[in-house]
Structure 1
Amino acid sequence: MNQVFKALADPTRRMILDLLRVKDRSAGEIAEHFEMSKPSVSNHLNILKNAELVLVEKRGQFMIYSLNTTVFQDVIQWLMEVRDRSED
């Protein structure tokens, strides 16, 4: 869970997640939306992948990134449990 929150703490990574919320994209398509080097975008994608917030699938010569909604559901469930405990 710590990796998830660390990944979500960065605004660039949150923007990447917003892009993937609309549709699955290749690393190149994601990089087009940022004024930073492709290796920097790749680093952000690796952090999201390690936190299991994104899934990666090889399609031909491209790596396609998509949201892993299961992890978001787990985070929401954890937050709801924390809220419920604080109300007791």
Structure 2
Amino acid sequence: MSFSQTMKAVADPVRREILTMLKEGRLTAGDIAAKVEGLSSATVSYHLSQLKQASLITEAKYKNFIYYELNASVFEEIMLWCAQFTQKEGNS
């Protein structure tokens, strides 16, 4: 995962919406497409691909479906990185 790729992925409002959906639990691409109005299945697949490349989501195959879910460890890494800017020098 590259930090710049991750930040680029979350910069897109559709991708942020998908991440918010996945916060509630794993979903298929079809489930996501049904919840995001005005987007084709191909567009949803593109956004899922971008999120996967940024390691923000993982996929797991079960029977004939692919389920997507959040990769919480990447969000923890981002939070730790951001936290360094809120701590003053000399504080533990």
Shorter-chain TM-score range: over 0.9
Runs of 4 or more, structure 1, over 6 Å off, are none
CA distance in structure 1 between the aligned counterparts of 2:41 and 2:80, rounded to whole angstroms: 34
Select which of 16, 23, 26 maps to 1:24: 26
**What are the residue-to-residue correspondences of 1:3-42 with 2, within 5 Å?**
3-34=5-36, 35-42=38-45
Number of aligned residues:
86
What residue identity is the alignment partner of 1:6? K
Q: What's the C-alpha RMSD, in Å, of the aligned pairs?
A: 0.9
Structure 1 stretches of 5 or more lacking a match?
Answer: none
Deviation at 1:40, TM superposition (A): 0.4
Larger radius of gyration: 2
For residue 59 of structure 1, what is the aligned residue in structure 2? 62
CA distance in structure 2 between the aligned counterparts of 1:40 and 1:82, rounded to whole angstroms: 35
TM-score (norm. length: structure 1): 0.93
> Equivalent pairs: percent with the same residue?
37
Structure 2 stretches of 5 or more lacking a match?
Answer: none
